[in-house]
Amino acid sequence: MTAVTHRTAPIAGQKPGTSGLRKKTPVFMGPHYLENFVQAILDTVGAAGRTFVLGGDGRYFNDRAAQVILRMAAANGVARMIVGQGAILSTPAASHLIRLNRTDGGIILSASHNPGGPTEDFGVKFNMPNGGPAPESVTEAMFARSQVLTEYRIWEGQDIDLSGPGTARLGPMTVEIVDPVADYARLMEGLFDFDAIRAMFAGGFRMRMDSMCAVTGPYAKAILEGALGAPAGTVVNATPLPDFGGMHPDPNPVWAKALMDEMFGPDAPDFGAASDGDGDRNMVVGRGIYVSPSDSLAVLAANAHLAPGYRGGLKGVARSMPTSAAVDRVAAALGLPHYETPTGWKFFGNLLDAGKATLCGEESFGTGSDHVREKDGLWAILLWLNILAVRRQPVAGIMAEHWARFGRNYYSRHDYEALPAEGAAAMMAALRGRLADLPGRTFEGMTVSAADDFAYTDPVDGSVSKGQGVRVIFAGGSRIVLRLSGTGTEGATLRLYLERYVPGPDGLHEEVQAALGPVIRAAESIAAIRASTGRAGPDVVT
Ligand code: G1P
Ligand code: ZN
């Protein structure tokens, strides 16, 4: 085997978005595409003598891409690669391994909740030594590098056998193949009261965990059915498949419909949960009650002290701007600092590192804490289980008490998908141009108190991120937010976030879309989405 240098030419558009570089799989499989981007990563972060973690969610091309990355790492002088067995690692488990082994970062192969397969999506992202996604300054540098590089280096030779744990060598580089689940499971055991959860399952508590044929299958089997004694069959769709069995591995009421049907059916179990392609997202459902991610974050913040890992209380909480303000109300009641960041987990990293926040969350089915630097689907599910084991109440009872105490932030997101990119950009530009005229005007009986394009100054490093989404805030706490997705691979996706606050005690148990009716109509008056896209309504409502 020898290291060889291949000539290449920059490929346009290798610009990481909200969460790494995501493209259609055939694009990634195109000549030099993966190689160029990996070389740009290694040139940007440095390779010589380094140790990195490598793994992915098992989607189509995961195995091939991992072999290419290993050979490129070796040729670029990387000293050691810690690889999940079969090149598999959930995103939170990868984040944990990066931290546990004090590595120089890691490369994660995933397009998260996007479908996988030969014609679906693939992605590559780099996480920093703190275990969290690379910040914009780093991803911008990778992009810049990708636009000028003229060569990449790779070992020519055989594939490494990743099928079992052990150590292998690739030229001068050590490849350490590790069980993807073991270290992560130990971390969870240290945070949660496994005895209490075990007792709850032993007492007949029933759960359905839908792993959506994606990466959390083996993790959920080992932890829920193994360590916690949940009955066999509690975890469904537990075998990760390259095309996720044709499922769209996004844990929301639309794509996890089978789980929703079960939880609202006649013989519903006590608790339902699902996670996404790479295991960082989660959805939580009680018997006959869906818990919105924004509410879930708020409930977890209000109850985290019931789990051993958080017994000392929280240092603070953070949410992305479009996430509902439900958690802010908990923070205010508990006297905790709370932060509002732009969309994307990478913005939580500094707050977690600096000890300013312990819990973070996004409306997009992401919740996590300072145990890793990614959102973590199974972690959220286990924290819920710990809370249920201590409180011994059904999910519906916990939600009712929560709303009675803090009020309810009715919340929904409406997505308009695959819009022509230019039209969508023009619509947002026009809206931004009208923002200054909105304050003081009344829509559906609600008066606009503020309207802006969200900008964030990181309280730790002072970096500024502008243009993070249009907010129109009404007196009384109702709000609409509009932004374009940064993770899509086809045209533009417009996300419309809708929120209405009801303090209670009346009106806490309305149907969500009905409760949001005035806000939905106000959004159309203000942004003219249907009128300017020609669409009759959103493609996905969550
Ligand atoms: C979406 C979500 C965002 C999340 C990201 C990665 O990004 O909205 O909250 O952090 O996926 O999972 P978007 O497509 O909106 O840019
Ligand atoms: Zn994900």
Q: Could you tell me the residue ranges of all domains in the chain?
A: 2-180, 184-406, 408-541
**Residue nearest atom 11 of ligand 1, based on CA coordinates:** 487
Q: Which of these CATH numbers, 3.40.50.460, 3.40.120.10, 1.10.287.110, 3.10.20.340, describes 2-180? A: 3.40.120.10
Determine if the peptide bond prior to 459 is cis (ω within 30°): no
In the set 90, 112, 292, 294, the catalytic residue is 112
In percent, how much of the chain has pLDDT > 70? 99
The number of beta carbons lying within 10 Å of the beta carbon of residue 373 is 26
Least confident of 285-299, 330-344, 423-437, 476-490: 476-490
* C-alpha 17 to ligand 1 mean position (Å): 9
Q: Has this prediction a pTM greater than 0.85?
A: yes
Closest CA to 122 of 108, 109, 139, 107: 109
Residue 534 pLDDT class (50, 70, 90 cuts) = confident
Given a cut of 80, whether residue 490 has pLDDT beyond it is no
* C-alpha 282 to ligand 2 mean position (Å): 9
Please check whether the two domains, 2-180 and 408-541, share a CATH topology: no
Residue at 169: amino acid letter = R
Question: What is the DSSP-derived secondary structure letter of residue 148?
Answer: T
Please give the pLDDT value at position 124.
98
* C-alpha 112 to ligand 2 mean position (Å): 4
**Average pLDDT value over all residues in the chain:** 96
**Residue nearest atom 4 of ligand 1, based on CA coordinates:** 344
Please give the pLDDT value at position 306.
98
Given a cut of 90, whether residue 491 has pLDDT beyond it is no
Please give the pLDDT value at position 141.
96
**Residue nearest atom 13 of ligand 1, based on CA coordinates:** 485
CA 161 remoteness from chain centre: 30
In percent, how much of the chain has pLDDT > 90? 92
Residue 296 known to be catalytic: no
Q: Could you say which architecture CATH assigns to the domain 184-406?
A: 3-Layer(aba) Sandwich (3.40)
Give the CATH number of domain 408-541: 3.30.310.50
| Residues 70-129: tens digit of each pLDDT | 999 999 999 999 999 999 999 999 999 999 999 999 999 999 999 999 999 999 999 999
Residue 1 pLDDT class (50, 70, 90 cuts) = low
Least confident of 11-15, 178-182, 342-346, 447-451: 342-346
* C-alpha 364 to ligand 2 mean position (Å): 10
Least confident of 109-118, 161-170, 485-494: 485-494
| CA-345 nearest atom, ligand 1 | 10
**CB-based pocket (< 6 A), ligand 1:** 18-19, 112, 320, 343-345, 362, 364, 366, 485-487, 495
All residues at 6 or more sequence positions from 299 whose CB lies less than 8 Å from its CB, including other chains = 291, 387, 398, 399, 402
Please give the pLDDT value at position 18.
72
Give the pair of three-digit tokens for residue 320: 């992305």
Residue at 280: amino acid letter = D
| DSSP-H helix ranges across 203-314 | 216-220, 257-263, 293-303
Residue 530 pLDDT class (50, 70, 90 cuts) = confident
Given a cut of 80, whether residue 159 has pLDDT beyond it is yes
CA–CA separation, 454 vs 457, rounded Å?
A: 10
